[in-house]
C-alpha cells in the first residue's frame, strides 16, 4: 500500500480517497481540484480559495518563482505558504510546461527539486518531458526514457517529508503509457500525473484522452493517486473520475474569466451571449448578465472567475456524492449528452468496461438504464462473466414470461435485457434489480442475447430453450443455433 493514499469508496473506476500530505499536515479528500495560482497575479487570492471555496490544495509553478528575482528571494525567506498566504497543501510544477512551450528551460531536475524543497512545497514535480500527441513512436519512446531517468533522479534526491510526483508520459501510445505507468509505480514516488493531455482536451479528443488514462492506469495499479495534469473544465470531470483520475488542476477558471467566458458543466458560454445566468452561486444570484457585463474589467474578471470556481467545485462535490450513492455512471451518461465528443469519450470508457469492472462494487443502490450505452456498463460485463460459472440442469427454459406449469424443463430462469439469463434466486440482487425503460432498445436486447450465448457456450450439454417477447431476427442471430426459440408474442407462444 502507498502510505499517502487510501481509497475509501469506489464506483466504476472512480473513487473517493484520502491523500495525506505530511509536510502540510493536511489530508486532502479526493477527487480534488487544485486551483492554479500564478504567483505574479492572483485573480482570486489563495486565502479566499481556502475560506470561500473550501480549497484544500492548490498548485503553483516553482519555475516561475525560481526565475523571478523578487519572488525567488521572498519564497526562500518566507516560505511558499507565507508567500501565497494559503493554509492548505501546495503542489508545485517544475517548468515542464515551459519546456514543452519554449523548447528549453534553465534548470535541471536536481536543482528544481532542491528549490521546491527549500521553499516549502508539499508536493514537488521533477522536470519530465511532456511529449505531444501523435508524434512518432520512436520519439515518444526516447522522450519517455528521459522522463524515466528524471524520475530515478527524483527518487534518489533527499526530499524529506515532501511528496514527489512521477509524471506518466508516452504520447498517444497505449503501450508506452502503460509501460510508463508501470515504471512510475515501481518507484518510491508518491503522486502520478498523467501528462501532456491538454492538447487532447483542447481538440475535444476525449476518446483519446480516455485511452491514454486507461493505459496509464493499467500500469499504475489500484493504490496510486492519479492526477490528470492540466484538466480544469468541469464538463469532463465525471468522465475522467470514472476512468480513475483523482486530482485535477484548474487554470481554466481564471484564464476563461479573462476572456469573458462562463463555465458550465455542459460547456463554455460567452458572457456576451447570455440572457440568463444558469447557476445559483453567489455571483449569479447577485447580478443579471447585463450588470455583470457592465462591471469594470478587473471586477468582472474576478466575479466571473469566482463563478467559474463555484461551478467547478460544485461538480467535484456532485461527483463525490455520485460515487457515494453508486450512480457515477448515470452522471457520466448525463454529461456525455452535452457534446458529441463527450459521448465519444463515454463510449471509449465503456470499451474499458472489463478494466473498470475490477474496481466497481459488486452491489450498489440502483442501476438505471438511461441510454443504450448502459448495455455496455461494467455490471453487464460482470454478469456475463458470472453466467459462465453458474451451474445449470440438463434442460433449461430461459423466459421473459412466467414460469411454465408443466415439468417439461428441469428449471426455468428469467431472461431480462440487458443482462440476459439468471436464476430466479438472484432476481433481487444487484444489478438485476435494474430500472429499465418499458421501451427496450436494441442494444439491451443484443446484450441479453449475448448473455444467453455465454451461458450456452459454457454449458454445451444443456438443452436450452428461450421464450422471448418478439426479439427481432437480428438479435436472435446472436443466440447459438442449438437453442430452441419460442416467441411469447406469437400465437403458438406459451
CB of 493 to Zn ion, least distance (A): 56
CB of 284 to Zn ion, least distance (A): 3
Considering the complex, state which of residue 256 and residue 369 has its C-beta at the smaller distance from Zn ion: 256
CB of 237 to Zn ion, least distance (A): 17
CB of 291 to Zn ion, least distance (A): 13
CB of 234 to Zn ion, least distance (A): 12
Q: CB under 5 A: which stretch of 15-23, 281-289, 356-364, 478-486 binds Zn ion? A: 281-289
Q: Which of 196, 201, 231, 279 binds Zn ion (CB under 5 A)?
A: 279
* Residue of 145, 211, 160 lying closest to 190 (CA atoms): 160
Considering the complex, state which of residue 230 and residue 234 has its C-beta at the smaller distance from Zn ion: 234
**Could you write out the DSSP letters of every residue in 94-105?**
-SHHHHHHHS--
Cell of 299: 471586477
Q: What does the angle CA 97 – CA 135 – CA 155 come to, to the nearest 5 degrees?
A: 50
What burial class does residue 103 get, using C-beta atoms within 10 Å of its C-beta: 0-12 exposed, 13-18 middle, 19+ buried?
exposed
CB of 305 to Zn ion, least distance (A): 11
Sequence-distant (6+) residues with CB within 8 A of 299 are none
Cell of 117: 524543497
Task: Give the chain's largest Cα–Cα span.
Answer: 89
* Residue of 387, 263, 248 lying closest to 319 (CA atoms): 248
Q: 271: which DSSP letter? A: G
CA distance 489 to 494: 9
281 assigned ligand-binding residue? yes
284 assigned ligand-binding residue? yes
The number of residues making up the chain comes to: 494
Active site residue 190: no
CB of 233 to Zn ion, least distance (A): 15
Sequence-distant (6+) residues with CB within 8 A of 392 are 411, 455, 459, 462
Q: CB under 5 A: which stretch of 271-279, 377-385, 431-439, 469-477 binds Zn ion? A: 271-279
Q: 392: which DSSP letter? A: -
Is 222 a binder of Zn ion (CB under 5 A)? no
4 assigned ligand-binding residue? no
Binding mask 290-329 for Zn ion (x = CB under 5 A): -----------------x----------------------
Considering the complex, state which of residue 43 and residue 94 has its C-beta at the smaller distance from Zn ion: 43
Q: 41: which DSSP letter? A: B
Q: Which of 284, 304, 466, 483 binds Zn ion (CB under 5 A)?
A: 284
Considering the complex, state which of residue 5 and residue 313 has its C-beta at the smaller distance from Zn ion: 313
Considering the complex, state which of residue 89 and residue 284 has its C-beta at the smaller distance from Zn ion: 284
Q: 191: which DSSP letter? A: B
| Binding footprint of Zn ion, residue count (CB under 5 A) | 5
β-pair partners for 464: 396
93, 249, 260, 360: which is the annotated catalytic residue?
93
Considering the complex, state which of residue 115 and residue 313 has its C-beta at the smaller distance from Zn ion: 313
β-pair partners for 108: none
* Residue of 24, 48, 26 lying closest to 37 (CA atoms): 48
Cβ–Cβ under 8 Å, residues 244 and 262: no
* Residue of 316, 442, 425, 418 lying closest to 369 (CA atoms): 418
Tracing cell 467545485 back to the chain, one arrives at 313
Cβ–Cβ under 8 Å, residues 102 and 147: no
Q: Which of 7, 157, 255, 281 binds Zn ion (CB under 5 A)?
A: 281
Considering the complex, state which of residue 123 and residue 284 has its C-beta at the smaller distance from Zn ion: 284
β-pair partners for 6: 18
Residues carrying an active site annotation: 93
Instruction: Please give the annotated binding residues for substrate, written as ranges.
Output: 128, 196
Q: Which residues bind Zn ion (CB under 5 A)?
A: 279, 281, 283-284, 307
- Residue numbers belonging to the annotated binding site for Zn(2+): 279, 281, 284
Amino acid at each position: 500500500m502507498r502510505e499517502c493514499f487510501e481509497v475509501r469508496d469506489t464506483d466504476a473506476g472512480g473513487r473517493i480517497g484520502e491523500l495525506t500530505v505530511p509536510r502540510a499536515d493536511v489530508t486532502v479528500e479526493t477527487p480534488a481540484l487544485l486551483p492554479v495560482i500564478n504567483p505574479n497575479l492572483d485573480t482570486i487570492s489563495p486565502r479566499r480559495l481556502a475560506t470561500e471555496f473550501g480549497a484544500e490544495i492548490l498548485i503553483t509553478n516553482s519555475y516561475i518563482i525560481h526565475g523571478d528575482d523578487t519572488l525567488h528571494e521572498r519564497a526562500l525567506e518566507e516560505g511558499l505558504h507565507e508567500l501565497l498566504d494559503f493554509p492548505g497543501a501546495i503542489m508545485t510544477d517544475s517548468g515542464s510546461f515551459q519546456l514543452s512551450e519554449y523548447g528549453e528551460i534553465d534548470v535541471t531536475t536536481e536543482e528544481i527539486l532542491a528549490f521546491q524543497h527549500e521553499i516549502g512545497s508539499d508536493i514537488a514535480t521533477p522536470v519530465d518531458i511532456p511529449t505531444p500527441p501523435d508524434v512518432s513512436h520512436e520519439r515518444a519512446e526516447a522522450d519517455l526514457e528521459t522522463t524515466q531517468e528524471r524520475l530515478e533522479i527524483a527518487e534518489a534526491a533527499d526530499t524529506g517529508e515532501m511528496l514527489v510526483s512521477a509524471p506518466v508520459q508516452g504520447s498517444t501510445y497505449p503501450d508506452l503509457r502503460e509501460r510508463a505507468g508501470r515504471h512510475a509505480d515501481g518507484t518510491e514516488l508518491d503522486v502520478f500525473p498523467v501528462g501532456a493531455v491538454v492538447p487532447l482536451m483542447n481538440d475535444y479528443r476525449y476518446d483519446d484522452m480516455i485511452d491514454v488514462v486507461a493505459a496509464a492506469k493499467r500500469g499504475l495499479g489500484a493504490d496510486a493517486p492519479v492526477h490528470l495534469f492540466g484538466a480544469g473544465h468541469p464538463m469532463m470531470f465525471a468522465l475522467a473520475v470514472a476512468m480513475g483520475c483523482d486530482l485535477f488542476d484548474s487554470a481554466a477558471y481564471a484564464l476563461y474569466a479573462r476572456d469573458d467566458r462562463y463555465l458550465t458543466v455542459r460547456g463554455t458560454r460567452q458572457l456576451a451571449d447570455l440572457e440568463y445566468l444558469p447557476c445559483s452561486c453567489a455571483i449569479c444570484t447577485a447580478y443579471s448578465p447585463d450588470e455583470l457585463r457592465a462591471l469594470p474589467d478587473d471586477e468582472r474578471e474576478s466575479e466571473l472567475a469566482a463563478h467559474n470556481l463555484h461551478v467547478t467545485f460544485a461538480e467535484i462535490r456532485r461527483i463525490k456524492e455520485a460515487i457515494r450513492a453508486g450512480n457515477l455512471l448515470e452522471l457520466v451518461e448525463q454529461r456525455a449528452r452535452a457534446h458529441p465528443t463527450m459521448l465519444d469519450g463515454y463510449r471509449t470508457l465503456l470499451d474499458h468496461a472489463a478494466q473498470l469492472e475490477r474496481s466497481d462494487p459488486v452491489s450498489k443502490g440502483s442501476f438505471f438504464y438511461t441510454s443504450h450505452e448502459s448495455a455496455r456498463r461494467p455490471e453487464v460485463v460482470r454478469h456475463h462473466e458470472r453466467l459462465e460459472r453458474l451451474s445449470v440442469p440438463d434442460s433449461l427454459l430461459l423466459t421473459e414470461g412466467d414460469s411454465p406449469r408443466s415439468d417439461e424443463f428441469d428449471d426455468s430462469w428469467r431472461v431480462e435485457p440487458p443482462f440476459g439469463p439468471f436464476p430466479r434466486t438472484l432476481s433481487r440482487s444487484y444489478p438485476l434489480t435494474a430500472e429499465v425503460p418499458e421501451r427496450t432498445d436494441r442494444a439491451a436486447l443484443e446484450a441479453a442475447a449475448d448473455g444467453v450465448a455465454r451461458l450456452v457456450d459454457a454449458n454445451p450439454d444443456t438443452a436450452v430453450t428461450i421464450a422471448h417477447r418478439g426479439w427481432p431476427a437480428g438479435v436472435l442471430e446472436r443466440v447459438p443455433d442449438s437453442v430452441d426459440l419460442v416467441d411469447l408474442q406469437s400465437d403458438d407462444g406459451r
